[in-house]
Structure 1
């Protein structure tokens, strides 16, 4: 039995078939593969069909009000950034020149990002710091105090969330044979303390060179 020869598809129909296959392939990629594999949904089909959920990992919902959970906070104080250069004399200059306290005023639950380093000595044992905070009560009222770290070292960086309304910062002490400068960088929600008030009895000025921050002390 003889077979009839297969007629080739007309050129026009062949082109339409190829174009249709290409369009279908593009739709599959845009509507299914991208939402499932790459979380991209240019046509919106993944969202409507639920395919985009196949890409997402399992979720664990955390109640922000629960104990120990990270909380998003808003503050009344504006965000600010300051650089404070604190000159300290050598140990022969006496305690009034070789050590001081520098703090900032913070409200309860406000956050401070800090970083400081000592310029002028390479020996960590020459420099001691006491990071702490306390309230500023009226005369006759009790004071709340929190000590965070007491150590020797030439640098520190981190974040602090104030446990109460009050002042937070450091006591810096230089016991080396040379004057040094503490370069302190602060960012967050706090207020600088005016010269002469508790936390800044030395009258340190922020955002000026060390020689201007405390003119009576010579910087290295």
Structure 2
């Protein structure tokens, strides 16, 4: 015959049995805390069980890892210095749109004089034809063939992006029509830069 003294009339455990189960769970939790968690996490071993079970090694490994791992902090620059997310321009931003038409196999450039740090957002697109392009820059008074290419593409119809001049000089694009029919390119720029021109 089953013992039903711990079950009430609704078929649920009695208050007395719930209290006993709660006390037992708390006692088991306290034993686990003292014998396993404190030695492994904090190196505190009042019962000696952590050492006997080899749990103290875990705390020593965590401590040595913390000593050898450098703490890297990123200072917040509130004064607008070189690392500031705010770039301050001396002049108002400008917007330009230029078009050029290239005959088959013809190439041409559009450039702008820029100081280091000047920047713009750009978009160029063709009227459907494909072009080769080289976005590049050169310092003032460059030697022959002295330039830096930033982005080169073949058989393209458009490109968009944001550009920041890495050095003082002229920066822009060279396009070449790779097709058999004329291609018109429309360039739109917005930002801080000098006058756009075709050399």
Task: Judge conservation of contact 1:134–1:143 (CA < 8 Å) in 2.
Answer: no
Looking at structure 1, the residues matched to 79 and 122 of structure 2 have their Cα atoms a distance apart, in angstroms, of 27
1:140-179 alignment runs, 5 A limit: 145-152=147-154, 153-179=156-182
Q: 2:90 aligns with which of 76, 87, 105?
A: 76
Q: 1:105 aligns with which of 104, 113, 118?
A: 113
Task: Judge conservation of contact 2:120–2:163 (CA < 8 Å) in 1.
Answer: yes
How far the C-alpha of 1:146 sits from its partner, in A, is: 2.4
1:61-210 alignment runs, 5 A limit: 62-63=76-77, 69=83, 71-91=85-105, 98-121=106-129, 126-137=130-141, 145-152=147-154, 153-193=156-196, 200-201=198-199
Looking at structure 2, the residues matched to 184 and 107 of structure 1 have their Cα atoms a distance apart, in angstroms, of 21
Looking at structure 1, the residues matched to 102 and 127 of structure 2 have their Cα atoms a distance apart, in angstroms, of 10
Change (3 A) 1:143 1:150: closer
RMSD: 2.9
Looking at structure 2, the residues matched to 163 and 89 of structure 1 have their Cα atoms a distance apart, in angstroms, of 32
Looking at structure 1, the residues matched to 148 and 81 of structure 2 have their Cα atoms a distance apart, in angstroms, of 21
Task: Judge conservation of contact 1:103–1:167 (CA < 8 Å) in 2.
Answer: yes
Change (3 A) 1:116 1:142: closer
Change (3 A) 1:102 1:68: same
Task: Judge conservation of contact 1:129–1:173 (CA < 8 Å) in 2.
Answer: yes
TM-score by length of 2: 0.55
SS of alignment partner, residue 170 of structure 2: strand
Change (3 A) 1:115 1:137: same
Looking at structure 2, the residues matched to 83 and 191 of structure 1 have their Cα atoms a distance apart, in angstroms, of 13
Runs of 4+ off more than 2 Å: 60-71, 141-146
How far the C-alpha of 1:67 sits from its partner, in A, is: 10
Change (3 A) 1:66 1:119: same
TM-score by length of 1: 0.50
